[in-house]
Amino acid sequence: MNVLLIGGAGSMINNLIIKLNKEGHRVYLLTGDKYNKEPYQKVFERYNFTYDSSCLNEIYESVGPDLTLFMGAYDTNFRWKDEEKESVRYSACLMNLLMGYAMRGRGRFIYLSSDAVYGKHHPRDIREEEPVCPVGYRGMALAQAEEMCESYRKARGLDIITLRLDHLYSIPKTRRDVTDICTRMCLSSMEKKTITVEEGSSLSLLFEADAIEFVYRVIAAKEHKSALYNISSSRELTQRQLAELVQELMGDSAEIVAEGDAMEEKRIVLSHVLYDSEFGIPFFCQERDIVGKIATQMKRNSYAFLTGEDVKLPLGKRLLQKSGWLLRAMIPFAENLVAFIPFFMLNNRAVGSEYFANLDFYLLYVLLFAIVHGQQQATFSAVMAVAGYCFRQMYSRSGFEVMLDSNTYVWIAQLFILGLAVGYMRDQIRKLKEEKDEEKDFMVQQLDDIQDINSSNVRVKDALETQIVNQNDSVGKIYSITSALDQYNPEEVLFYAAEMLGRLVRSRDVAIYVVSNQAYARLFSSTSKKARMLGSSIRYTEMGELYETLKERKVFINRRMDERYPLMANAIFDDKDEMQMILMIWGIPWESMTLGQANQLVVISALIQNASLRANRYLSVLENQRYVAGTNVLETEAFTSLVNAYMKAQSKGLTECTLLLVKAEQNVREEAGKVLVAKLRQSDYMGTLGDGNLYALLSNTNTADAQYVIKRFEEAGYVSQIVEESAA
């Protein structure tokens, strides 16, 4: 199923992506922000466009979503700091999304709302038909959005569902994630050492992981009865009780401060009765456990939550970060001062030297810093050189004489001209290099974007190519395999159906049970010892979740990995809505337990049912020819064919069976058959073979279990013995 998720980055949408990917859906993402760089989980295709973008219709056409889910009240693109302005933008964005969906007119649209549409006291749990009563601009915007969805649904006949989540809370990673009442209390406890509660206020908390599971049930449902569902734990909790729990788990001396009138109640608890009646609610996370995890997370990263920064740096690094620019600017000046000392000493030694008298060390000093650091340091080094030159000249002359000497000014002019010229050239070269690097980075970024676009196109091409070329799981391929069942004799169909099912689902452990009455099912065929672990007979009506799922004509998926149940199972029903067979699969990998695999099992089951019906109809037509008149004893030809089918299936490890020879005289065999058939199960058979003797075929029975039947025959006055397969 193609799913289009719409919403800003956050833990809830990321966990939804993980859930949908795990279930085998193809997930597309519309971020709602053109420049969004926030981290998301991996999706099949990501669109960085705003909700008012003109290309929204093209996105719908390109994706072709079977389901569109808008995060709505939990979309992090809407921060609600200025509620009045944000409510206008929110309504406009939803309108544009609904128009794009309506123009396509296909698939389902799910909108997530919240308890904020109710702001007044309700003494009873709030059901879906209760009129909304919002308080504040955000609540009014969400209520208006619900009405907008309902209006589109009725006017255009669209499949639009609104899900209200009751006081959603989650485990935050940063201060920006502190948005719900529980995390706000924890932050207030750390920051202000007080927890403010509203006296008389009651609520019901819904953990994010639970909410995702419940939302997915609506996503996966083929049909639904209502367009609006409340999702809530319906476990009432007062704000004071929650504050006391936070106070205990945070482990600090935060004071609980009450505000408001304790006599004025404000109870807002949504009712989940309607949702439960249709989809079921398997479990809820306990508030104490989750609040404990929130408290641990926030205390461990207290600096990040108190300051809003991501990581608390050590004191030295924080000082370096704040004063780093000054240190970086001072380093060249410090280098200049340090380098001036040896050049000053070299210049003093060169004054009276015969070899170095004409070598100007100060000029070398200025040129060195002009080449390395540019014009600024060349100016500073020239000033230092002039100071050093004047200081050295005043060893033998007065400062006034040095100032009147024209050679001094010529030397200074030479020093500054050369230093500034070389420094200017160095700065220009550095500027050109930086511009070149910027252009290179820009071109590299463009190349990366082109590569991303190309890789996206390649993914789409490969996916479509896989669908077209690799047809291992296509309906046509499945039908071509299951149609091979028609080549077997009617008695052999279900034996080889188990083998064929294992081949299609890539499992070595498959079992087929045939329902014998309203409570029990008998094992008909299996492909391994593991597939027979439930035994030859099961009371399927007492198998809890497995039976409840199969009864609703749904595929059972053992997501809890309960060892008592198979990993996947499906039931086959007749035209009277009675369960006829149960297909069980044990050995499949966890990643294959997806909705796609479940849908494939439904298709395979239907094809097996068709093959089985044809075989049963054929046997029904020939029923008068198959049995001895007036008895349930099979004629020789029919019984021989049945025995050969069982023996052949047993040799391939698809079933177990035992053949018993009944020692009865020829003139009493018909009477013996009538008596002994009553001693057998519905899945056992009695008939004659080519030697004229009377035999009993015990299905799914080994030699040890056959002893019980032999004993029952002896009690009826007939002796029997086990026939070896080779003899049969």
Residue 603 to residues 28, 220, 555, 559, 570, Cα–Cα distance (Å): 26, 17, 11, 21, 11
pLDDT at 149: 92
| Lowest mean per-residue pLDDT among 159-163, 318-322, 618-622 | 618-622
Q: What is the pLDDT at residue 147?
A: 92
When pLDDT is averaged across residues 637-654 and rounded to a whole number, the result is: 81
Each residue's pLDDT tens digit, 37-70: 677 888 888 888 888 887 888 888 888 899 999 9
Closest of 540, 560, 24 to residue 283, by C-alpha: 560
| Token pair belonging to 49 | 């466009």
Which tops the pLDDT comparison, 370 or 483? 370
In this predicted structure, what is the pLDDT of residue 621? 47
Classified as helix, coil or strand, 686 is strand
Please give the average per-residue pLDDT across 608-626, as a whole number.
60
Does residue 21 surpass a pLDDT of 80?
yes
Range 268-287 average pLDDT: 83
pLDDT tens string 91-130: 989 998 998 888 887 889 999 999 999 988 888 889 998 9
Tens of pLDDT, residue by residue over 333-369, are: 888 888 888 888 877 777 666 666 667 788 888 888 8
Give residue 726's pLDDT: 40
Closest by CA to 722, choosing from 635, 688, 702, 632, is: 702
Average pLDDT over residues 593-597: 73
Residue 618 clears pLDDT 70, i.e. is over it: no
The one-character DSSP state at 622 is T
- Give tens-digit pLDDT for 466-485: 555 444 444 545 555 555 55
116 touches 72 (CB < 8 A): no
Range 235-250 burial, b when 16+ CB lie within 10 A, else e: eebbbbebbebbbebb
* Separation CA 581–CA 522 (nearest Å): 9
pLDDT at 617: 60
From CA 368, how far away is CA 370, in angstroms rounded? 5
Is pTM beyond 0.75? Reply is no
Collect all residues with Cβ–Cβ distance below 8 Å to 716 and sequence separation of at least 6.
675, 676, 679
- Give the strands of the sheet with 556-557, arranged side by side: 537-539, 520-526, 510-515, 579-585, 568-573, 556-557
215-242 pLDDT, tens digit each = 999 998 888 989 999 998 878 888 888 8
Average pLDDT of the residues of the chain:
81
Examine the pLDDT at 301 and tell me if it is beyond 90: no
CA dist., res. 157 & res. 159, Å (int): 7
Q: What residue has token string 């409840």? A: 548
Q: Using CA atoms, how far apart are residues 214 and 19, in angstroms rounded to an integer?
A: 11
Per-residue confidence (pLDDT) for residue 164, from 0 to 100: 92
Summarize pLDDT for 516-572 with one digit per residue, the tens. Answer: 777 788 888 888 888 888 888 888 888 888 888 888 888 888 877 888 888 889 998
Domains and their CATH numbers in the chain: 2-165 (3.40.50.720), 478-621 (3.30.450.40), 625-723 (3.30.70.270)
- Locate 228 and state its tokens: 């609006």
Phi and psi (nearest 5°) for 253?
Answer: -100, 35
pLDDT at 727 over 50: no
pLDDT at 481: 55
Residue 283: per-residue pLDDT? 65
CA distance 282 to 596: 22
With tokens 């249709």, the residue in question is: 278
Q: How far apart are CA 428 and CA 419, in angstroms?
A: 14
3-state class of 193 per DSSP?
A: coil
Per-residue pLDDT band at 320 (split at 50, 70, 90): low
